[in-house]
Amino acid sequence: MDTYTLHQGTAPLFISLPHNGTQVPDDIAARLTPEARRVPDTDWHVAELYDFARALGASIIVPVYSRYVVDLNRPEDDVSLYPGQNTTGLCPIVRFSGDPVYLPGQDPAPDEIAARVDAYWRPYHQALQQELVRIREIHGRAVLWEGHSIRSEVPFLFEGRLPDFNLGTAASASCSPALQQALEAVLASQSDYSFVVNGRFRGGYITRHYADPARQVQAVQLELAQHTYMDEDSFDYLPGRAAPTQALIRRLLECTLA
């Protein structure tokens, strides 16, 4: 079963897009609410948004299946990444709206969750780990870039309106001070988009788990407000709106390579 696609590049940059998947197996989809079958909490179109990075030599890994099947950016023991705050779990049973994912009585049992981890979560993480090793062996270093997006307003998860660009470095633990400062400088040099560093989204499991700056493996998460490149209600990709957003992402990625 193909659960992800992996493009191997030539640069010390690896882009992971763990919430871009939209497919749901039929047996699971039949148990979802009508609203959840639209997989509204997808990081819509981020693979398209980051497709230009192939020309920079980046490796890119993209899942096939929705986060409603299993959330690839959560630890397999499902420990909360943001204790004390609303969040969703390894196999989410609530949407970002707070509404249920499953029809009554259809939530996955522990044995089913374990089976999904084996079938979907583990292959992605094995591929991610192996590609990081390959990149580091070739270049002596690697930067893991986590590409995410979310609606600009999600009251269940955070108050108010999210900044356009949300950079997370696990409270400065997942990358060097020099890299974080350089990325902040890129964001501060423009006035078209609002931004924050280590705000509500400080980096998920992948950023925190795989970062090892002492061994030249750095990790950065970018959470985009979706209105910067798409229509948040219809989920339509808007190329004209996306173009300047892509240009700024490109500057950030070029900064990491430099």
> Can you give the pLDDT at residue 193?
98
Q: What is d(CA 95, CA 37) in angstroms, rounded to the nearest whole number?
A: 11
- CB–CB of 206/175 below 8 Å? no
pTM to 2 decimal places: 0.95
The contacts of residue 123 (CB under 8 Å, 6+ apart) are: 3, 4
Go through the chain and tell me how many residues it has: 258
Looking at the DSSP bridge assignments, the partners of residue 107 are none
pLDDT one digit per residue (tens) for the chain, 258 residues: 699 999 999 999 999 999 999 999 999 999 999 999 999 999 999 999 999 999 999 999 999 999 999 999 999 986 766 655 656 789 999 999 999 999 999 999 999 999 999 999 999 999 999 999 999 999 999 999 999 999 999 988 888 999 999 999 999 999 999 999 999 999 999 999 999 999 988 889 999 999 999 999 999 999 999 999 999 999 999 999 999 999 999 999 999 999
Q: What is the pLDDT of residue 1?
A: 62
Residue 97: the pLDDT is 92
Residue 82 is predicted with a pLDDT of 61
* DSSP tag of 119: I
